[in-house]
Amino acid sequence: MSRHPTRIPGATAAALLSLLCGCVKKSEYDALQVENQTLQTRVDETNHALVQSQADFSALQVQMRQYLTVQAQLQKTQQDFKVSQDEFTALKSRFDHFRTQHRTAMVGKRYAQLNLDDGKVLHQAEITAVSADELSIRHADGIAKVALAKSSPDLRMEACYDPQEASEKAREKTMAKSRETPARPSPEPVKAAPVPVPAPLPASPARSPVEALRTQLATQRQLLNAEYHELAAKNSAALRGVEWNSSQPEASPLLNSLSGSRAVLGISRLQVQRNAILATLQQLRELDPAAR
């Protein structure tokens, strides 16, 4: 509410002064004039303070509206993040199921010859077991356990090899072995020496946000690659000759050009996964501009 400064009209003030001049002494008149001037100054100061208060109140109202806008944006961002988390969890569950199926299907496969990354060649090879970090293979010269990291690109792709998963699996095996205490029979009834308890392995340091996003990005790309290969197997004629970038599947022309409009059931699902990868990549580049 705006208020106008309160002032005494000039004519009224002059009339009052004329009446006072006839009734009071000059000294009293001068004192009344000074008092009137003082009161008028206070009125002016009060009016100025009121105007300033109104301006401050208007500024506070603007800030309050801005705060409410930011709060609404934050709530929407939190909701979007929750939806993305749920979608990622669902995709991760599907990928885990897909990976388990692939590894199970590998058991029993036979190869006349297997060429490993370290140069070894296994003849008449048959896969007997597949885990996150290694393969068990029966071959012409016996049985071998081969680390997936040292097997071959084709075997790693077929087994959905994940370095992070393999590292965690190897750590679990090491800790399990460290808890085992081998029993050694003593040839003579001598006092058994105390068995030293192995020191526990140092806990792995908490992953930084960059490492967590890199792991999430790798998993999302593996999911997209697996989904594409499954779709290509069902639509081999429609997708024959299509270029696919396995290292950066989100950049594949199938998902980023007019070729993505092919009438193939499932392309839209691949594009949803592509969008999730792009969102993760954007978050990663905000922390690490060199990330790809």
Pairing of strands 142-147, 121-130: unpaired
* Geometric angle at alpha carbon 168, from 164 and 170, rounded to 5°: 115
Domain that holds residue 283: 208-292
Residue 273: burial class (beta carbons within 10 Å; 0-12, 13-18, 19+): buried
Question: Residue 176 falls within a domain, yes or no?
Answer: no
Average pLDDT over residues 96-123: 90
| Whether pLDDT at 10 is above 80 | no
| Whether pLDDT at 204 is above 50 | no
Question: Residue 180 falls within a domain, yes or no?
Answer: no
Average pLDDT over residues 209-215: 86
Rounded distance, CA 138 to CA 141, Å?
8
Q: Is residue 154 within 8 Å of residue 116, measured between CB atoms? A: no
Average pLDDT over residues 73-100: 88
Q: Which two tokens stand for residue 231?
A: 């779709």
Question: Residue 127 falls within a domain, yes or no?
Answer: yes
| Whether pLDDT at 36 is above 60 | yes
- Count: domains in the chain: 3
Question: Residue 182 falls within a domain, yes or no?
Answer: no
pLDDT at 261: 46
Q: Do 213 and 286 have their domain in common? A: yes
Q: Which two tokens stand for residue 137?
A: 């293979």
Closest C-alpha to 99, from 151, 165, 171, 152: 165
pTM over the 0.85 mark: no
Residue 291: burial class (beta carbons within 10 Å; 0-12, 13-18, 19+): middle
Question: Residue 225 falls within a domain, yes or no?
Answer: yes
> Which of the four pLDDT bands, split at 50, 70 and 90, describes residue 233?
confident
CATH of the domain at 138: 2.30.30.100
